[in-house]
Amino acid sequence: MKQALEEATATGTDVQDHDHHGIRQVLRELGIQEINAAYSTGLKWGGTDNEQLLSITSPTDGKLIAKVRLATAVDYEQVVRTAEEAFTTWRLVPAPKRGEIVRQIGNKLRDYKDPLGKLVSYEMGKILQEGLGEVQEMIDICDFAVGLSRQLHGFTMHSERPAHRMYEQYHPLGLVGIISAFNFPVAVWSWNAMLAAVCGNVSIWKPSEKTPLVAVAVQHIIKDVLRENELPEGIFSVLIGDAEIGSRMAADERLPLISATGSTRMGKKVGAVVGARLGKALLELGGNNAIILTPHADVDMAIRAVLFGAVGTAGQRCTTTRRLIIHEEVYEDVKQRLLSAYPKLPIGHPLQDGNLVGPLIDKDAVRMFSEALERVQAEGGTLLTGGEVLSGTGYETGTYVQPALVEAKNEYHTVQEETFAPILYLIKYSGEVENAIALQNGVRQGLSSSIFSLNMRETEAFLAHTGSDCGIANVNIGTSGAEIGGAFGGEKETGGGRESGSDAWRVYMRRQTNTINYGTALPLAQGIKFDI
């Protein structure tokens, strides 16, 4: 292992003496050993002697991975001051040079993809291929950001005044606060941090208190790059903290942009606080995503998409398929195929080959899963299969569940809400595709949507401005699996934010219109005369 990474082992986690599934070795490879600090400002780990320790256990086997020390208000101030100082230097670095730093970060992530992906899987509970895929998303966004660093273009336009030139340009905002969720503990941070970095900003990251260790690991990897390029502390910072730290970030006028990923309930609180100080909020919140299956669907293809969309990551994706809107002509066929497939789903430890469904993040998530099933049945829904909390050998944690299929109606209160667990509601429709689209749109969330049909008129109706009201609308693919190149986010209670590709970079910059008079006169706009 690289000597620089060994030296980076500083202070933030009390790692336990075990090697469950090789995790102890993984922690060593990632530079996480006897750590005792609450924050990192890029090159430096630190923190006050806060006695409040948070135990991090794996939802996969219930084993204690580490104990982390939570940041205090004093720690927070130190991080912000260091970030402000770093910004004064980083904003002066030419954008393509900033892109070069991001390129090096991407290469380091390639070097550590296997151990980092394994830690994501063990700490969060997603299967190993998904953990590795999440790290690959980080690598991909680095590649995207490198190219973007040479394309932060503005616009020119014609002035109505002679001998005048007008154009628009973009400047970095400053400090970007990033509040990430447990289900994608590193990828979503990278979507924000890498774009913010090439735009000339510095970032302060509060990872989920349920998955802080992968954030610690990423900071160690970044530390190598900062040291090798003799860059200042604070370009990338992390705070290991609870909701109080997130509240401080939202209220802090020194952070002009807060990017927050999580539940709609959390996003409304953050948005209100940021809005009250007229800051900018990038919110990526809940989804209640549907797939429409019309009579013209390729059902074989659709079933595969439905299965991954509904049970991948144990239903803990914001893009998870939660509703399946099926035309009455194919309803029974689709229902029977799913009833055949669901009991065969390989459920178990995510680091064991062959398993496709891992655990829920904790017992609170299991409780919400069970309560949602009770409520929807009380409303008139029918539980077709699944819904059990698994027990016995391999399931001792009580966090593994059998994904559930439920016949329901779209108007049920429980169906209208997002339950972050593997529950798929089967909803029947009749008539034209517009009826299915109305059901698809008939919820408060608007993240991802999909239609399976080989009929061009149906698919074009779904994509028209009168079709899906979601930020993502797919044809003949599922609701999960967004690519880096497109802007990611949704409408309504999903928050309206956009991250990742396309022109999402603009949110990390402030827009400025410039007018230059290179003539000898001073004509006023709109032909106004103001002679003295």
User: So what's the pLDDT on residue 531?
Assistant: 81
Question: Distance from CA of residue 83 to its chain's centroid?
Answer: 23
User: Amino acid letter at 459?
Assistant: T
pLDDT value, residue 16: 52
Residue 95 has pLDDT above 80, yes or no: yes
Cα(65)–Cα(69) distance, rounded to whole angstroms? 14
Going from N- to C-terminal start, the domains of the chain cover 3-285+501-509, 289-483
Low-confidence winner among 43-57, 98-112, 303-317 (lowest mean pLDDT): 43-57
Q: Name the pLDDT band for 288 (thresholds 50, 70, 90).
A: very high
Residue 135: closest CA among 93, 106, 159, 163: 106
Mean pLDDT, all residues of the chain: 94
| pTM, two decimal places | 0.95
pLDDT in tens, 456-479: 999 999 999 999 999 999 999 999
Distance CA 462, CA 479 (A): 14
Q: Please give the pLDDT value at position 20.
A: 66
Length of the chain in residues, anyone? Answer: 532
Both structure tokens of 252 = 């802090």
**13-15 and 448-452 as β-strands: parallel, antiparallel, unpaired?**
unpaired
pLDDT for residue 34: 58
Residue 418 known to be catalytic: no
Q: Which two tokens mark 47?
A: 């923190």
Q: Are 121 and 356 in contact (CB under 8 A)?
A: no
Tally of CB atoms within 10 A around 219: 28
Element (H, E) at 473: strand 472-475
Our measurement of the distance from residue 295's CA atom to the centroid of its chain's CA atoms, rounded to an integer in Å, reads 34
Distance CA 21, CA 14 (A): 19
Please say whether the beta carbons of 423 and 406 come within 8 A. yes
Least confident of 49-53, 216-220, 308-312, 358-362: 49-53
CA distance 526 to 430: 57
Mean pLDDT of the 414-418 span:
98
What residues contact residue 328 under an 8 Å CB cut-off, 6+ apart?
Answer: 428, 429, 430
Contacts 24+ apart (CB under 8 A), 258-261: 258/176, 258/177, 258/179, 258/282, 259/176, 259/177, 259/178, 259/179, 259/192, 259/283, 259/284, 259/497, 259/499, 260/179, 260/284, 261/179, 261/180, 261/181, 261/184, 261/188, 261/285, 261/318
| CATH 3.10.20.740 for the 289-483 domain, yes or no | no
Q: Is 513's pLDDT higher than 90?
A: yes
DSSP β-bridge partners for residue 499: 488
Percent of the chain clearing pLDDT 70 (strictly above)? 96
Residue of 233, 284, 418, 458 marked catalytic? 284
What are the pLDDT digits (tens) for 335-349? 999 999 999 999 999
What are the CA-CA distances from residue 294 to residues 309, 335, 425 (Å)? Answer: 18, 14, 16
Region 391-405 average pLDDT: 97
Name the fold adopted by 3-285+501-509.
Aldehyde Dehydrogenase; Chain A, domain 1 (3.40.605)
**Percent over 90 (pLDDT), the chain:** 89
- Give tens-digit pLDDT for 101-143: 999 999 999 999 999 999 999 999 999 999 999 999 999 999 9
